[in-house]
Amino acid sequence: MLRRTIPQSFTSWDNTKAHKNELHDKIRKQLRDVQLPPSSYDTAWVAMVPVQGSHQTPRFPQSIEWILQNQYDDGSWGTNLPSLVVNKDILLCTLACVVALKRWNTGRHHISRGLNFIGRNFSVAMDEQIVAPVGFNFTFSGLLSLATGTGLGNLQDWNQVMAYQRKNGSILNSPSATVATIIHGRNYSGLAYLDFVTSKFGGPVPVMYPQNAYSQLCMVDTLERMGISKSFACEISDILDMTYRLWMHNEEELMLDMRTCAMAFRLLRMHGYDITSDGMAQFVEQSSFDDSIHGYLNDTKALLELYKSSQLRCLEDDLILEEIGSWSARVEYALKCPVYAILERLEQKRNIEQFKTKEQLKIEGFKLLKSGYRCLNHEPIITWISGVIPNDEILALAVDEFHSSQSVYQQELQDLNSWVAQTRLDELKFARLMPSITYFSAAAILLPSESARIAWTQNCILTTTVDDFFDGEGSKEEMENLVRLIEKWDGHGEIGFSSECVEILFYAVYNTSKQIAEKAVPLQKRNVVDHIAESWWFTVRGMLTEAEWRMDKYVPTTVEEYMSAAVDSFALGPIITSAALFVEPELSEEVFRSEEYIHLMNLANTIGRLLNDMQTYEKEIKIGKVNSIMLHALSHSGGGGGGSPEASMEEAKREMRRILQGCRFELLRLVTRDAGVVPPPCRKLFWLMSKVLHFVYMEKDRYFTAEGMMASANAVILDPLQVTLPPSDSGTL
């Protein structure tokens, strides 16, 4: 007999390289060959199948033998969770095994002990406060009916069920669901499927087979969400290549399950595979969810996957994703944190901390969500339950990697603080110097190297300071002086400085840019400081134009005129260009001069400018500063149109949101497409910047406050993980 005990998690915790390699090897093995644990529930259903033509003989005696050999000492069957608390999953599995044994009048002692277990714990089934597997009420009551001899009810619409039959004869690759149709004389072709599965697994069967595509995609998604996917890049690439082939061949294993299909689409698109949304067309109508097994069981995870996939539109006229997004936006967290505003490192910390907080599992890997059916009279046919594969190795590596990263981040932040002092930026009283918040934006999007993170952060600090200077801290003479100095660049000595403030600003920009360019020479094979200098020239030129408008009290006549300066003045050019120098591969002159690179930069700057304008237009109107929202409202409210200023402002915001959305679609299209002059790693920087901007300017959210941003920065850089690891013999990894 098996004992229901609390398994020792993290049996070996040490900080040796050998132990880390062992953990990596275990995960690689799981990625290559998904190990499916046996399901007591599904095995019990398979055990009930008789030999054709003889209802007195079981077709799968090996399944019965497994049930007899795998009862726990307390009389139960089910998942051996790290808890002694009886749950509804255990009750369901135990009842199914009892019914299977009773079907063949074998294992009388096992049946008695199982019934005693159910009797002692029957109150658990009635307790609404205890979390239940999806569809538990239908399945448990159906099995009780079967156990008392009344069967599963008169099922009225088996044609609806058979619509889910796969090419292999199964019902949605579920052994238990397949058995239900066989027992009711509807699916004898499913016997071959059951023969194959029981032969492969030797008697016990998993909750679903085949499910390699779903399981492997879940593993890839989990590794990415936990921040350790980089260590398994080769394996993940192989899995996504396989998934892409399944997608292109419209394989039912991938396409017929809503959650699997949506997850595949999201991962493939974000990894640069050239796919359209056509494969998602089957989910355009809300009824595709409401009438499905997912909707019946209120599967919020399937709904969340659909919603996340709908946010990855690359075209404004992608009606498939637009429709899916319009009806699937029910998940509160998804609405609060859309895919295009999630910063990976912040999200990974949250995932790591929540990985062990599930009530049933102290450490949760990924769930194999079972689904269910019902017929027209609402009586149960068969409902799948949730099985769980714990993955201690993933949590161990994620915790270790996060701790290591934080040490690196803290050292880099110290270096940045020293740089601020060396450049004398701290002597400028007007400067909004927030190194930790600024550095957070580089660390949270997982920029690939120290040099990229430092260059990104230094230019974020510089552009913010220069923007403040042009925003009213500098005189017109000083501003023009700084623009001429940057235009002249190496020849700045011919011009001279109109003030100490200008001198500090110029040398901070000039010397930092030269240092970045020199550091990039080994990768770029040439000195590319001219590209950084040019990006600064475009930036300050736009800032000067806006400053002149403000000082002259000039209002641009159109939004287009305003954006001609506002796009450059948003100042992403120096930030992205500098960071791109440290992202492989080498960037040629052709890349920087290409229409594609310029277009990417314009899109990113436009996104930033519109997001900023929507957050700050009220303040800027009061100080007489031009803003796209104000300009659009003015152009649509005057001239006898009769519209109120408030209505015009709301219309302006709607129009700017529409333009913003279009820019985001186009940016994602360029970033994820299969071709282009700009290398994919460089293109990705523009998307990462867009995510930072959407996060910072998230409407009606705490992150736009200084306190909220500082809290987020501290979470990534300073605050330790709130993870209590189980006791071990060797300390922590």
> Per-residue pLDDT averaged across 32-53, rounded?
87
**What's residue 499's pLDDT?**
97
Residues 151 and 231 in one domain: no
Q: Which of 201, 235, 269 is the last residue of a domain?
A: 201
pLDDT of residue 425: 97
Phi, psi angles (nearest 5°) of residue 152? -95, 10
The share of the chain scoring above pLDDT 90, in percent, equals 55
Whether residue 613 sits in one domain with residue 471: yes
Q: What are phi and psi of 169, to 5 degrees?
A: 95, -15
Instruction: Identify whether residues 196 and 218 lie together within a single domain.
Output: no
pLDDT band at 700 (very low <50, low <70, confident <90, very high): low
Q: Does 184 share its domain with 292?
A: no
pLDDT at 13 over 90: no
State the distance between the two ends of the chain, measured CA to CA, in whole angstroms: 35
How much is the average pLDDT of 322-337? 76
Whether residue 268 sits in one domain with residue 336: yes
Residues 625, 630, 635, 638: what is their CA dihedral angle, to the nearest 10 degrees? Answer: -100
Write out the two tokens for 326.
């319009």
Using a 10 angstrom Cβ sphere, with 0-12 exposed, 13-18 middle and 19 or more buried, the burial of residue 33 is: exposed
Return the CATH number at 164: 1.50.10.160
Per-residue pLDDT reduced to its tens digit, 577-625 = 999 999 988 999 999 999 999 999 999 999 999 999 998 888 888 877 8
What is the bridge-based pairing of β-strands 387-389 and 366-368? antiparallel
Residue 206 resides in a domain: no
Helix (H) or strand (E) holding 387: strand 387-389
What confidence score (pLDDT) does residue 606 get?
A: 97
pLDDT tens, residue by residue, 350-399: 999 887 534 334 333 333 334 222 222 222 222 222 333 346 788 889 99
pLDDT computed for residue 142 by the predictor = 67
Three-class secondary structure assignment of 657-723: HHHHHHHHHHHHHHHHCCCCCCCHHHHHHHHHHHHHHHHHCCCCCHHHCHHHHHHHHHHHHCCCCCC
pLDDT digits (tens, 9 = 90+) for 552-567: 989 998 999 999 999 9
pLDDT of residue 335: 58
For the chain, what is the mean pLDDT? 84
pLDDT for 438-484, tens place per residue? 999 999 999 989 999 999 999 999 999 999 999 988 999 999 999 99
Q: How far apart are CA 489 and CA 309, in angstroms?
A: 46
For residues 179 and 238, membership in a common domain is answered with: no
Residue 196 shares a structural domain with residue 223 = no
Domain end marker among 170, 201, 232: 201
Q: What whole-number distance in Å separates Cα of residue 395 and Cα of residue 355?
A: 7
**Partners of 346 in beta bridges:** none
Against a cut of 0.85, is the pTM above it? no
Residue 511 lies in a domain: yes
- Our count of domains for the chain comes to 3
Q: Which residues pair with 409 in a beta bridge?
A: none
Q: How far apart are CA 75 and CA 191, in angstroms?
A: 30
Which pLDDT belongs to residue 61?
A: 95
What is the CATH number for 346?
A: 1.50.10.130
Same domain, 167 and 269: no
Residue given tokens 């046919």 in the structure block: 381
Q: Which residues contact 591 (CB under 8 A, 6 or more apart)?
A: 597, 677, 678, 679, 682
- The reply to whether 439 and 494 lie within a common domain is yes
Over residues 405-423, the mean pLDDT reads: 97
* Predicted pLDDT of residue 498: 96
**Mean pLDDT over residues 320-338, rounded?**
78
Evaluate whether residue 621 is within a structural domain. yes
Pair (176, 229) in one structural domain: no
Would you state the torsion angle of the CA atoms of residues 307, 309, 314, 320, taken in this order, to the nearest 10 degrees? -70
pLDDT digits (tens, 9 = 90+) for 125-138: 777 777 666 566 65
pLDDT classification of 4: cutoffs 50, 70, 90: very low
Which one of 43-47, 162-166, 206-210, 355-359 scores highest in mean pLDDT? 43-47
Q: How far is CA 64 from CA 57, 188, 202, 707, in A?
A: 12, 21, 11, 61
Omega cis (within 30) before 210: yes
Q: Give me the pLDDT at residue 543, please.
A: 97
Tell whether the model's pLDDT for residue 264 goes beyond 80. yes
Greater pLDDT, 513 or 327: 513
Give 469's DSSP letter.
Answer: I
pLDDT at 149: 62
539 and 676 together in one domain: yes
Question: Does the pLDDT at position 568 exceed 90?
Answer: yes
Res 489 pLDDT > 60: yes
SS (H, E, C) 40-53: HHHHHHHHCCEECC
pLDDT of residue 401: 94
Closest CA to 368 of 553, 219, 522: 219
pLDDT tens across 240-254, in order? 999 999 999 999 889
Picking from 355, 374, 408, the residue at the C-terminal end of a domain is: 355
What pLDDT is recorded for position 639?
A: 46
Backbone angles phi, psi at 413, to 5 degrees: -65, -40
Instruction: Tell me 365's DSSP state.
Output: -
Q: CB under 8 Å, gap of 24 or more: what pairs does 432-437 form?
A: 432/464, 432/465, 432/468, 433/461, 433/465, 434/461, 434/706, 435/461, 436/710, 436/713, 436/714, 436/717, 436/718, 437/706, 437/709, 437/710, 437/713
- Confidence (pLDDT) at 234: 94
pLDDT of residue 386: 31
| Residue given tokens 């209120």 in the structure block | 298
307 in a structural domain: yes
Map tokens 């201690």 to a residue. Answer: 392
**151 within a domain of the structure (yes/no):** yes
63-67 long-range contacts, CB within 8 A, separation 24+: 63/100, 63/198, 63/203, 63/204, 63/205, 64/100, 64/101, 64/104, 64/106, 64/107, 65/203, 66/38, 66/203, 66/204, 67/40, 67/43, 67/97, 67/100, 67/101, 67/107, 67/110
Cβ(43)–Cβ(203) under 8 Å? yes
Domain that holds residue 431: 396-699
Tokens of 268: 């493939």
Note whether 552 and 676 are same-domain residues: yes
- pLDDT in the model for residue 729: 38
Q: Which residues contact 57 (CB under 8 A, 6 or more apart)?
A: 50, 51
Amino acid at 343: L
Average pLDDT rounded to a whole number, residues 256-282: 93
Please give the pLDDT value at position 83: 53
pLDDT of res. 133: 67
The answer to whether 570 touches 612, Cβ cutoff 8 Å, is yes
Q: What is the pLDDT of residues 625-670, one digit of tens each?
A: 888 998 988 887 654 445 566 778 889 999 999 999 999 999 999 9
- What does the pLDDT look like over 419-442, one tens digit per residue? 999 999 999 999 989 999 999 999
**pLDDT, mean of residues 670-694:** 94
DSSP SS3 for 733: coil
Average pLDDT over residues 148-173: 68
How would you write 618-643 as a 3-class SS string? Answer: HHHHHCCCCCHHHHHHHHHHCCCCCC
CATH number, position 478: 1.10.600.10
Amino acid at 462: L
Q: Which helix (H) or strand (E) holds 389?
A: strand 387-389
227-252: string of b/e by CB count within 10 Å (b at 16+)?
bbbebbeebbeebbeebbebbeeeee
